[in-house]
Amino acid sequence: MSSDKLYSENHIAIDSTARTPHSQRLNEDMESRAAAEHGAKVSVTIDSHTMEVPIRTTVLDAAKKVNVRIPTLCFHPDLCIAGVCRICVVEIEGQRTLQTACSYPITETIKVSTSTPKVRRARRHILDLMLSEHYGECYSCVRNNNCELQSLAKEYGVDFYRFGHVQKPRVDIDRSSYSVMRDMNKCILCRRCVRTCIDLQEVGVLEAAHRGSETEICTFMNKPLSDVICINCGQCINRCPTGALRANDPSDDIWNAIDNPNKHVIIQTAPSPRAAIGEAFNLRPGTSVTKELNTALRRCGFDRVFDTNFAADLTILEEGTELLLRLKKALVDKDTSVAFPQFTSCSPGWVKYLEHFYPEYIPNLSTAKSPQQMFGAVMKTYYAQKHSIHPTNIVTVALMPCSAKKFECNRPEMADSGFKDIDYGLTTREMAQMIQEAGIDLPALPGSGFDEPFGEASGAGLIFGATGGVMEAALRTVVEVVTGLKAEQVFENLIIEPVRGFEGIKYMELKIPQVGPVPALLKNHKIQTWDFLKGVTLKIAVAHGTANARHVMEDIKAGGKFSECHFIEFMACPGGCLGGGGQPSPTSPEIRAARAKAIYAEDESLDIRKSHENPHVLQIYKEFLTEGPCGHKSHKLLHTGYINRGKAIV
């Protein structure tokens, strides 16, 4: 049966990275805006290059078209325009003052000079002023050799502090959060973090307070991050140009565990870091180094290297079964208390966002733990028993693209086995540093596989790393389990296009025209037939970035289109996990797209591409979780209760 008979698509494109704040909307010329809408162009000369560009193109964007580099600090391709750092100033013929290239719209024919003595002198003075307020020793900074301020200081020949230099820190470092550390002594007031938190994520933890020389970036009443509504997503870290924001790094504790002969140290690696960590070793974005990374981790001293994708496959069976059980209760048992839509729960930043802003919808969250936490629970129980290792001697480390995973592994409900599921969450950046510290050249290593029995996973688990991946993985399984059709008969090459891509919000409808037999794995739940699903049109949606999540949630509250959905995937970070707050810097839409391409290409190269066909997952249900998905033991170890879900650590 062809796919076009089974599903229809209706993309709703909401680009959270293109949101325009009040500061950018001020003084906009209505005539030029109207002209831009009609494709009008205007001539501009930048240095010796003359060209035509669409009206209202910024000088910075026009310069990029002819490969003229203009330095920036406050500008970021993901964020709204601010024009506050002034480092991008240029000279426009006929104008008395210098203009900021990032925010100056071209509305008439102009001639721009980007490197006159006046421009160079102004940029140097701006840098000197920034450095006069920037405290910190570069050698000990986490951003050493990857700091935009440091790079510009070198580029402009800064060899002394023209306006002096701060000799001691002005404020204490905020170390209160499990995820994000703030050192405002290194802040240059570019406001990237503010715009990230307010415009990109619509959380609003950070703000620019006071005026003039008293300006500072702070939280509400300057409270520590652990006491405000920070969702730990780390997107502010990804866009900070200096070391003012960084993740809370546990690598010293991990080295101590590796060096302890009594500890059995296990690391699981998620797909997104494997598609991005090469960037820290000067590889092109989107270069997958899965097998080389396995070798590097063993050389670092980890006792076992496992694949998080195994637990992602486990998550699909648990979360998918939960969805089917909710549908049965609603359609067969007529239980009106069943919460729909069901929300995914594998993004800890999204979970905390929901707890803070929409706590009344906590029952809609799937009770399934994230793959990271499921893996830890399996390690401290099933794996410990099979290898006769006491759980207290097992140290579980999770290599994740996400700073919020550090918070997640410290939640009190993540220890249902009696032991902490995951001991340490490690970001891609931190893992790259550990590899470099061990003197290992990652790209030059020979490849090696994962350790068994958790080294074989499906392509469905792999694509969890991209926005829409959880939904696509779920559909590959649900289609086969319910209809009896092969997913390949429904989706060509198992590619489900309506849930792929970087549109802020995606929507899809999937009609179930026939039903097949109920798998033995689900008989435990007394489901004898799928007849109650025949003819049903499943409505699903995908949202990435919490600004888009807010749009969906407000629509649900208003009883709109998304309130009719059965299942919605939410990811806190733009692009999903591959754009996580622990990924290498810099980040941009192009870099995230390259990482996604690597993930999808690896999926298509695998023999197993559906979660329910993973033999190791089926084996664990046979040997350990014998009641099947959502059975008593799996619910105890792999799920959390709604009540516990509501207890956010703040």
Annotated active-site positions, please?
319, 322, 346, 366, 405, 408, 413, 577
Identify the bridge partners of residue 544 per DSSP, sorted by sequence position.
Answer: 571
Give, in degrees to the nearest 5, the angle at Cα 7 between 494 and 614.
Answer: 30
Checking DSSP bridges between strand 567-571 and strand 342-343, what pairing results, if any? parallel
Q: Which of 283, 188, 328 is nearest to 245 (CA)?
A: 188
Q: Rounded CA gap, 228 and 344, in Å?
A: 24
Q: Which 3 state secondary structure label does DSSP give 375? A: helix
Q: What is the DSSP letter of 167?
A: -
Q: Rounded CA gap, 242 and 341, in Å?
A: 41
Q: What is the DSSP letter of 19?
A: -
Q: Rounded CA gap, 58 and 482, in Å?
A: 53
Q: Rounded CA gap, 193 and 215, in Å?
A: 14
Q: Which of 468, 476, 470, 459 is nearest to 3 (CA)?
A: 476
Beta strands in 438-479 (DSSP E): none
Q: How far is CA 126 from CA 256, 513, 549, in A?
A: 44, 65, 38
User: What count of other Cβ atoms lies within 10 Å of the Cβ of residue 335?
Assistant: 11
Q: Which of 329, 306, 310 is nearest to 449 (CA)?
A: 306
Q: Rounded CA gap, 452 and 511, in Å?
A: 38
The encoded tokens of residue 104 equal 């100056």
For residues 407 and 256, the answer to whether their CB atoms sit within 8 Å is no
User: What count of other Cβ atoms lies within 10 Å of the Cβ of residue 250?
Assistant: 20
To the nearest 10 degrees (0 to 180), the angle between helices 308-331 and 371-378 is: 110
Q: Rounded CA gap, 434 and 506, in Å?
A: 38
> What's the one-letter identity of residue 246?
R
Q: Which residues of 473-490 are buried (b: 16+ CB within 10 A; e: fewer)?
A: bbbbbbbbbbbebebeeb
Beta strands in 470-552 (DSSP E): 505-511, 537-544
Identify the bridge partners of residue 113 per DSSP, sorted by sequence position.
Answer: 91
Look at the alpha carbons of 340, 200, 374, 521 in this order and tell me if their dihedral is positive or negative.
positive
The encoded tokens of residue 96 equal 């008395």
Q: Which 3 state secondary structure label does DSSP give 109? A: coil
Q: How many CA atoms are closer than 13 Å to the CA of 533, on its beta-carbon side?
A: 28
Q: How far is CA 184 from CA 138, 146, 147, 187, in A?
A: 15, 18, 15, 5
User: What count of other Cβ atoms lies within 10 Å of the Cβ of residue 535?
Assistant: 11
331, burial (CB in 10 Å: exposed 0-12, middle 13-18, buried 19+):
middle
CA dihedral 352, 353, 358, 364 (to 10 degrees): -60
Q: How far is CA 121 from CA 63, 103, 125, 128, 149, in A?
A: 20, 20, 6, 10, 17
